[in-house]
Structure 1
Amino acid sequence: MGSEMGFVAPPTTEVPMVEAEAVRQMRDLAGKGWGAKRIARELGVARNTVRRYLRGAVADLQRHPSQQRLDDVRRAEAVALFEGEAEGNAVVVAQMLGERGVEASVRTVQRAVADRRREQRAADVATVRFETAPGRQMQIDFGERQVWIADERVTVHFLAAVLSYSRRIFVKAFLHERQGEWLDGIASAFRHFGGVPLEVLGDNTRCLVAGRNREAQTVIFHPAYVAFCRDWDVQPRACQPYRARTKGKTESGVKYVKRNAIAGRRFNSFAHLQDHLSAWQLLVDGRVHGTTHEAPAKRFERDEREALRSLPARPLPTHGRRLQRRVANDSLIDIDTVRYSVPHRLVRDRVEALVTADEVRIFHGRDVVAVHARSFEPHARVIDPAHLDGLWRRPAAENLVPIAQPLAALGRTLDDYAAVIGGAA
């Protein structure tokens, strides 16, 4: 293969060859329907050798495929395609070169772009630490871990929020990771820190980000998240896709929660878990941080508390899910593994539940039939006894049937035996 095809032919490397007659026999036998394994056994050659010649190799001196390489012009073309239209895919580069009349294997292309690929990988892992001013940014992320709660292994989702300047951390546990949990966690972090930063840097989760405009290089946030940020007067930001290191402070915080706060601990209840996390985050805020060489709490009080803006007077609720449920035979409905009671007269009827951060309000038509404080204990039962009134009725005294005593026929009663036992005592 010459340079006119885009290749530079290095000194030939000989490889074991098969005589032309043997190659003819391979193809004749293949034409009769023989498989490569049977042909190899018949001719006494390796199966891969048979396959290579059946694919078109000729019975002459062959150049080893690993010695093929693109010339400088074609290599520059391959690198340009690799960085551009092919988006880093060597297979696509080989296909595009083939469409342009350059026959190059995927392995040849991979060798041509190897240096550029190494540069990209180095750039991906290299980090330039970006320090923000006090009160400017809070980074957020969700993590999950299996946790033992009341002798049951439960998947717990938790939001970790870190103030980028002081490194103060806030953690809140949830049973799910949905938009309501994201917004509730962010709002809880604002309240915990006692103020609102200028911006919140988050992930590209669908709960917050509806999409991206690649041409304009803009982020399209979810309308509910936009309304939330407008209500709290904070600017939303999202890290670049596949570049989670741009929010490395909270990425480290999530790992720290998993390995230090939770680790292999067991908890009596979900409330016990949250109490532990609340105490743990205060303990961590008092330790000297490895990067700033100061305790986050000290750094926060000195520089960042006053830089945060005031909390809104009346923020909008962060939760507002409406769910349709059918009342079970035991007068309960299921919401997030927790069961809530409704009046027993509604058994088998359909009801609607409005779930907020702290409350579950149940409607039958337009009527509110039940209001419960929201529970986060896995598989808990929240029951209002009034909902079961009338479900069990005690029989009236006049309807009781006297129980006959067989001993009466013998002239004895249980009272006689009681007297004997009492006398013996």
Structure 2
Amino acid sequence: MNEIYINSNLINTLDDLRALSSIYLKGGLKNLNISKIARKLGHDRKTIRKALKGNIPKTTRKRNKYVDSYRDRIIKLLQDDKRKFEYYQHIYNYMVREYSIECTYATLKNYIINDEELNKLFNKRNNTNSFTERFETEAGQQAQFDLKERMKLIDTNGNEMIVNVATLTLGFSRYNVRKIVLDTSYETVINFLAEAFEELEGVPSELVIDNIKCLVDKPRTKNKEALINPKFEEFAKNYGFKVKPCMPYRPQTKGKTETQNKVPSQLYNYNTEYIDICSVNDKLEIINKEDNEKISQATHLPPVFLLKREKEKLQKLPSQEIRKGYYIKLKEVIVSNESLVSYLNCKYSVPKEYIGKLVGRTIKNNKLLIYYNKKIITLHEISKKVLNIKDSHDLKYDKNLSPKTEDNSIIIEEMENIKYDND
């Protein structure tokens, strides 16, 4: 059996150790520091070794009385038409994340199933789709890409935000890279893939894709191969991977991302809580981190445990000169002390934590998009107003300023004379 190096910093409970028991008993774990783990978890070495052997101590089961105290909150969540909880796991994750509920997933699931009112509310939303057994792949061999498109999220003011979530899943480790993308154009999708490969520090030998319009001109059928977008073929050649399009309605060849596309659905759980696109990004980062650190049902290990091994088998990235041709072209500007950036003599707000930092801006579909560290932090409709300030940015400027407002003429003149960047 191949030996696996485990980062002890990722072991936080005795259950994490029990999840590794099958590998430990076969001698597959190497350089595991029992003393360090014992100190971290507050148990003696004997208890740590028992957990590694899969020992489960007899404990008194949590009674439903504990979950009863959360029943009203669960009902309120399930009755909220603006939220979606498509899976029991999503309700459990939300309750742990937001209310620190301490029961097990099975306890909460059974509680909902056995409660007539809760079960009825949940079944209105339950997704009953099933997926066929997935193909397994060697480390570094394959990744799968997919998009969860047109997710309708709702902010605190009741406004809709339409976002897409791009997912790249490594076939061996099941490690996921996920990011919010505002459209599904070729340039946006390629930018995501280029950044994802850079984050992974390598490229797989194969990339399985769904029939995404910007990448596939004609989908694959039983008798015909797919017709790939020539620009995407060139991208694949430059990065050194083979494109493997899926056949429509064939979950066998794309099961990893089909399963992983359930995960972004948790963003629906926070409808009416979002302040802006930045808060959507923050929630997705938390959800994705949890998913990568959770035990995978396919590998029986967390994806982060297997990522190092998979990285060693990935192909090298192409040269920086090639890579930079696939990134979104951004105009770099510095955020002013007023937390503003300018475009065509108009000023647009960004969150105050970016004051003095170098951000990137670009224009798409009559919107000004602002990025920081490859993540979108805000967007504005292009406007002729002198000042364009979002309520969520909490800046103390009058958003209704215009050149015709005599009382504010001095303020307007001063604002227009501030040098933010080269328009």
Which has the higher Rg, Structure 1 or Structure 2?
1
> TM-score, normalised on structure 2?
0.47
Which fold has the larger relative contact order, with Cα–Cα distance below 8 Å and residues 6 or more apart in sequence? 2
